Structure 1
Amino acid sequence: MRPAPPASVRVLASLTALAAVLALTACEGGAQGTKATGAGAGGDGFVLRDSGIATVARGERRPAPELRGETVGGGQLDLDSGEFRGKVVVLNLWGSWCGPCRAEAKHLVEVAAETESDGVAFVGIDTRDFDRRAARRFEREFQVPYPSFYDPQGRLLRRFPAGTVSPQGIPSTVVIDKDGRIAARKIGELNDRHLRQMIAPVAAER
């Protein structure tokens, strides 16, 4: 009979397995938050609130990246077009494979309809759906009224400034102000109350 490994080896193996499980859970189920820092500590300008929403003061905001490409439905979308100029844009990162994305979809659809008349536009970024048909089924199932970029490889996500979003942090939601700058984010599932909390202060800015 082979002797049992030392206790230290067994503990290390258990910790390694646990870390792998946690990493997979965060990737597949959506991270519930990240530690946001002030500009002086981390350089990203985000201040994390108790709600899990991270915001950036107007004078510290960075420009959102140029986002253009094909949509889930097969059309073309460009956030620099006149359709979005001067509007608050809510960007939701999602995947049809993601349970929390399914749970929050009804809230996004509801608030998108509520805020459209206030000059707020919603746009999705569908990532890691390598079969476009699954993404289209998701949009039909939840009756999503706004377009989503089709970004299975995460190329659009990599255009965001470092520390803003992560391809592993799905779902995530980013609010872009009327001047095209990143004003707020929430990593992880959100509800309608949190979504309104993210949008309202940015939409009220003059």
Structure 2
Amino acid sequence: MSASRAPRRLTSRSRIALFAAGAAVASLTLSACGEGTASGGPSQTGFVQGKNGFDTVKKSERQPAPDLSGETITGKHLDVADYKGKVVILNVWGSWCGPCIAEAANFVKIANETKGKGVQFVGINTRDAKAQAVSFEEEHKVPYPSLFDASGKLLLRFPKGSLNPQSIPTTIAIDWDGKIAARAVGPLSEDRLRKMVAPLIAEK
């Protein structure tokens, strides 16, 4: 039998290489709903971790929120800048993400509680399909809009050194002046979400 027709058998070294490549892909996939970076790695500026586990920035040192505009999961246009003059709570989520499912009811409750206090919740749905995202919001009775960001491009717009999204879910608070004020990585309980929102409401 000629060399060109020899059976294609994997050597031990080839098996190891394929296994390593598969493990790397699996790691990236798992990190999407854990502690993987969503926008360029940890920031390197002067924010501090607060007593409730939130990263926060002094009011005088906050950076403006980036352009977060585009199509929602229901096909409407949304520009977060239009909410300047309100506290905006951004929640990065995916319908496939277990922690996102776990925290959904908490976001619905606090969004309804604070809508009359100058607070606007906005979701950023990522790595998802529109149909699944819409079904998720209908099932959980989500009362606020979500930008559709399947490829994660919006997440990459957060300026380097700011409180940027670091995993899915991540929650980011924007103050009355349209500046990034706080971040929580991972799912939030009702109590922790309320503690994130209340100090910003009080800043007015």
Instruction: Please give the root-mean-square deviation of Cα atoms over the aligned residues, in Å.
Output: 2.7
Aligned to 1:88: 87
CA distance in 2, matches of 1:113, 1:155: 29
Count of matched residue pairs: 186
Q: Residue 17 and residue 32 in structure 1: after superposition, are their counterparts in 2 closer, same or farther (change >3 A)? A: closer
Secondary structure at the residue paired with 1:80?
A: helix
Deviations along 1:149-192, one digit per CA (max 9) or x if unpaired, are 011011111111125324x6100000000000000001111111
CA contact (8 A) 1:36 1:47 kept: no
- Which of 146, 149, 152 pairs up with 1:151? 149
**1:30–1:189: 8 Å Cα contact kept in structure 2?**
no
Aligned residue for 2:156, secondary structure, equals: helix
**C-alpha distance in 2 between matches for 1:72 and 1:134:** 10
From 34, 37, 45, the equivalent of 1:30 is: 34
Retained in 2: the 8 A contact 1:100–1:189? yes
Bigger Rg over Cα: 2
2:189 is aligned, of 181, 188, 191, to 191
Aligned to 1:178: 176
Closer, same or farther in 2 for the Cα pair 1:15/1:71, shift >3 Å?
closer
For 2:24 and 2:71, locate their aligned partners in 1 and report how far apart those are by CA, in whole Å: 36
State how far apart, in whole Å, the 2-side matches of 1:85 and 1:177 are. 8
The one-character-per-residue Cα deviations of 1:14-37 (angstroms, maximum 9, x if unpaired) are 99998876554332x33299x978
Unaligned stretches of 5+ in structure 2?
Answer: 1-11
Q: What TM-score results when the alignment is normalised by the length of structure 2?
A: 0.81
Q: Distance in 2 between matches of 1:174 and 1:198?
A: 9
- For residues 113-166 of structure 1, the C-alpha deviation after alignment (integer angstroms, 9 at most, x for no partner) is 01111100000000011x210111111111101000011011111111125324
Question: How far apart in 2 are the matches of 1:20 and 1:126?
Answer: 22
Question: Is 1:134 the counterpart of 2:138 in the alignment?
Answer: no
Aligned to 2:62: 61
Q: Check the 8 A contact 2:28/2:36 in 1, yes or no.
A: no
Is 2:52–2:195's contact at 8 Å kept on the other side of the alignment? no
In structure 1, the residue corresponding to 2:110 is in which secondary structure? Answer: helix
Shift in CA distance, 21/62, structure 1 to aligned 2, threshold 3 Å: same
Partner Cα separation in structure 2 for residue 157 and residue 21 of structure 1: 21
Is structure 2 residue 121 aligned with structure 1 residue 122? yes
AA partner of residue 93 (structure 1)? V
Unaligned runs of 5+ in 1: none
1:127 partner amino acid: T
Q: Supply the distance in 1 between the matched residues of 2:201 and 2:42 (Cα, whole angstroms).
A: 22
Alpha-carbon separation, structure 2, partners of 1:18 and 1:197: 38
Q: Structure 2 CA distance, aligned partners of 1:137 and 1:89?
A: 24
